[in-house]
Amino acid sequence: MSENFKKSIIKTFAIEWFLYVFFIIIITIFIIFTILFEKQKVIKTEENRLSTQVKIINDNILMQIYSINEAFKNIKTAINKEHDLISNLKLFVNVIPSVRTFLIMDKNGDIIASSRDDLITFNYSSRDYFKTVRENPIENRLFISSPYVSVLGTLTINISTPFFDKNNNFAGIILAAFDPNALSNLLSSVIYSDDMKASIIHGDGTLFLTFPSNSFLVGKKLLDNQSLLSKHISSGNILNTFKGLTYVGEDNRILSLYSIIPNELDVNATLYVSVSRNINTLYADIKNEIIVMAILYFLLLVFSVPWIFFLQKRRYILLQFEIKNREESRKRLEELAYIDSLTKIANRRYFDEFLEKEWNYCKRNKKELSIILLDIDFFKQYNDTYGHQAGDLCLQKIARCLEDKLNRSHDLVARYGGEEFVCILPNTNKLDAINIATKLKIAVQNLEIPHENSRISSMVTISLGVSTVIPKDELDKTKLIKKADNALYLAKENGRN
């Protein structure tokens, strides 16, 4: 093996290793990009889902607030007309599902009417929610209380509004206390995963209610400079989605916050609702995918490196054999270059060289040289009728027939092109050449290859042209071919076959 060839092989193998390393780098980048893309996709999808869930809570609570406001209007009318207040209050409790109690207090904080009979004797003048309204009684304003422990021992919030006497003096408040159980059921209705949490937070930052319930957090102030609630309030947006530690740094979550703002109502405080999911749980499926990709990546490296070594070594051995056989292969290719690939007889290239040799031989010996140029009649129609595959088979049959009928060893039949064939007949006079042509015509006809679209026969036929010369210096062999071609033309003009 030559040194140049060895250097070429080494260079080729080095390029292959370079391409392999490049491929591995591309795969690595693709895997990293895929992981990052999947993470972003998961987060984006979950942001949309959480935003939808938090809007569901917002819409439901807003509907309750609007219903409470309408109830307050009816109750004020009933107070002015001195109707049966208790019946009205009990009716509103039944039709507004999230309200546990409706009650009316006079200006001293005494309950003068309630949907619950056991509260009639109570005085709530010391309660902050009563003081807030009494100290700043604005007509039609809704006052949302901070979370407080009710007489039933549960944390709740209420909505109240002042009413006034005929002299427009503060006469008391109408109050609707929320049912924590009903609101908890509302929160639970948007939960679709075990790691989810939903909460209602008062505008002062107090966590009023959370699902699943967490007694450690409920009632605590969440409003500090670093909290997600502070970021939400300072943004001025009605909806925000954050990623980070929630509440008291419990865990890393993705959280949607929504400000409950009743349009066209005068409200003293805002309620906020939140729905969140644990980010680590969201990434659990991606972690499984990462593990699978890491295993596949490792297997790729483990098996591909030895495999490349094996393939290169095998190629090196095969190349050695190839070098030894190169000369034989070259000779064989030269031989194949003279054979028509379809008909397996001599091709045009071999015909030209053979004609040159026989022309010179006959010229030296002053012998006659004849050629027969023949063409399959209406072969295009044959192809159109039976298809090109049948046409190829027809050419093969005729080629074998012609080769079989030329018995002399120094005669040659070759494919001249398309459906044309040519026969070289050295040392053959014109009469013998015509006899041979007639024999070839009959032999092809006897093959009985069907040709239903031929205009002269129901079988495949051929037309032939014969020419004969004694080669001389002043003659050109192309004239021999030209004369045969003219004779073939006349045969076609005179009816073919």
> Which active-site residues does the annotation give?
419
DSSP of 349-361: HHHHHHHHHHHHH
CA dist., res. 157 & res. 64, Å (int): 13
Q: Where are the alpha helices (DSSP H) in 169-325?
A: 180-189, 228-235, 279-282, 284-324
Cβ-count burial 42-79 (b if 16+ within 10 Å, e if not): bbeebbebbbebbbbbbebbbebbebbbebbeebbebb
What's the token pair of residue 378? 């209406």
Stated as kind and residue range, the H or E segment containing 480 is: helix 477-493
The three-class DSSP label of residue 463 is strand
CA dist., res. 159 & res. 102, Å (int): 10
CB 1 within 8 A of CB 320: yes
C-alpha 27 chain-centroid distance = 18
Whether cis (ω within 30° of 0) applies to the bond prior to 212 is yes
What's the token pair of residue 355? 């004609």
What's the token pair of residue 461? 């036929």
Count helices and strands (H / E) in the chain.
13, 16
CA-closest candidate to residue 148, choices 168, 163, 128, 162: 128
C-alpha 177 chain-centroid distance = 53
In the numeric block, the tokens 């206390």 are attached to 177
Whether cis (ω within 30° of 0) applies to the bond prior to 426 is no
Q: Where are the alpha helices (DSSP H) in 249-283?
A: 279-282
What's the token pair of residue 98? 């999230």
The three-class DSSP label of residue 274 is strand
The answer to whether the Cα torsion of 387, 393, 397, 398 is positive or negative is: positive
